[in-house]
Amino acid sequence: MNVRFISLQRLASRLALCAILVAALSFILNVLIASHNGIAQPRIHDEFSYLLAADTFAHGRLTNPTHPLWRFFQTFHVLQRPTYMSKYPPGQGLMLAIGKIVADEPIVGVWMGSAILCAAALWMLNGFLPRTWSLAGAILLAVHPLLANWSQTYWGGTLAAIGGAAVLGAWARLTVKPRMTDGAILGIGLVILAGTRPYEGMAFALPIIISLLIRPRPALLAAAAMTLLGAVWIGYYNYRITNHPLELPYFVYERQYAVAPPFLWQSFRPIPSLDVPEMLEYATQIEMPHSLAQRSVSGFARIAGEKLSDLIRAAVSPWIIGLSILFLPMALRLQRRLWMPLAATGAVLAATLMSNWTRPQYVAAAAPAGLLLVMAGFCWMAQRAPTAAASVTFAAIVWGIFLSFATTAPASEHFQRGEIQAQLSGIDGQHLVLVNYLPGHRLDDEYVYNDADIDGSKIVWAHDMGEKDDRSLLDYFKDRTIWRLDVDSNSARIQRYTPPHEFNSAHSHGG
């Protein structure tokens, strides 16, 4: 056992090699999961919005011109005016665009991001812990089911976590031996957080920045320079989409379509007049009641408890890693620097409780800090019972691999957009799909999402706004095959479209 331990120590001492190995482990695991379960299909509203950004970037643009018939293409989390683009910051879209360019599969960009995250986490952990336990932590992250879930969807998480690892790892080094390189990494991490989860990223970075500014170091000039460059680019990105460098696309969208504000301290907006009834229903029947429920003390406490419970379940799955938390107080006594990741994590949790919605990927900036605290507990345990600590760590890794496959398996759903798109893609020519939502339709199942170049797409999805209004759409796309898609609570049925008095079903697809 001593020989094996010495060999592990020697491997862990080669940081660059270990970074390559954990990155490869993460990427290979994601390839195996996709081979077993199939390439992930977008389902959530946000995923389609991020994919629009990816398609836009892959075409070499920062945004797209407003389509002359934009009213028919309005959909969740997508701006139509002043330009046609995702409302979200650019980070996740850029990562998906890399996958689209490199492998013609946006999800490959997410796998690449997960691999980089594991390497970045190893570097960050090395700033606090012995290298052997840093390597163990990076392996545990690579096989963690939460990371597998982020890596098999288009919703984000990994890039914000990379930013968190860069900021925290740079802080660990700047407080010991300040170097310009670490200052630059700190700045890059801050830019990544601003370009992915700016609200939660600011909460995470704030205590770290304050601690560094208390005792300024010349290396912070490199951080300031990188941050300034990133801020200029993000300002230019905002300008191209919203015509103002300080106007975030997110808030322009919220003013046009939302009733409930993103944060609980903000006031509700007047109910907008929208062309798409489903978007109005979502704003008034789902988002607004959820926000209202958190405006009372009892409601806030209840929903805050639910949010924290969901986050804890996601973080400590497999639950065996939760054992290390029992030893965290002792680890904090041994290494005072661990108070900083604890404070940064607490700041993110407090911030997210004040937002309308909370998901694990929203607090991804704090994921590396959480990993550090877990591994600090394992490290303390190893000093007292090394065999037990090693056994628990190994069990957590094996269990994590099993759960990664199990929790990412595709569920049986009524949402059939991907299936219908694949079916139409196999039919010659270009197509226009008029989507008609019937009573009882699930508002989470949105079919009207399009690529960056709507007119050049093989399939265009549009809202059915009635025979009179649809005429302009049908005239515009007169060279396409027209389909009608009726969506209810259980199925989506598609058939060739003909004028009402000449109806003749030519094709059907039932759910």
With the CA atoms of 490, 494, 495 and 500 taken in that order, what torsion angle do they form, in degrees rounded to the nearest 10?
A: 70
Query: Which structure tokens are listed for 98?
Result: 């890399």
Which whole-number Å values give the CA distances from 68 to 83, 84, 86, in the listed order?
Answer: 11, 11, 18
Query: Which structure tokens are listed for 474?
Result: 């049908």
Report the distance separating Cα 144 and Cα 154, nearest Å.
17
Burial of 150 (0-12, 13-18, 19+ CB in 10 A): buried
Q: What is the DSSP string of 352-421?
A: HHTBS---GGGGGGGHHHHHHHHHHHHHHHHHH-HHHHHHHHHHHHHHHHHHHHHHTSPP--S--HHHHH
Which whole-number Å values give the CA distances from 484 to 276, 279, 363, in the listed order?
Answer: 17, 20, 40
Report the distance separating Cα 485 and Cα 488, nearest Å.
10
Which residues are 431's β-sheet partners? 459, 481
β-strands 431-437, 481-487: how paired? parallel
Q: What is the pLDDT along the chain (511 residues), one digit of tens a residue?
A: 455 555 677 887 888 999 999 999 999 999 999 999 999 899 999 999 999 999 999 999 999 999 999 999 999 999 999 999 999 999 999 999 999 999 999 999 999 999 999 999 999 999 999 999 999 999 999 999 999 999 999 999 999 999 999 999 999 999 999 999 999 999 999 999 999 999 999 999 999 999 999 988 899 999 999 999 999 999 999 999 999 999 999 999 999 999 999 999 999 999 999 999 999 999 999 999 999 999 999 999 999 999 999 998 888 776 666 667 777 787 787 788 999 999 999 999 999 999 999 999 999 999 999 999 989 888 888 888 888 778 878 888 888 888 888 877 776 568 999 999 999 999 999 999 999 999 989 999 999 999 999 999 999 999 999 989 999 999 999 999 999 999 998 889 999 998 665 444 444 444 4
Query: Which structure tokens are listed for 369?
Result: 């800090």
State pTM to two decimals: 0.93
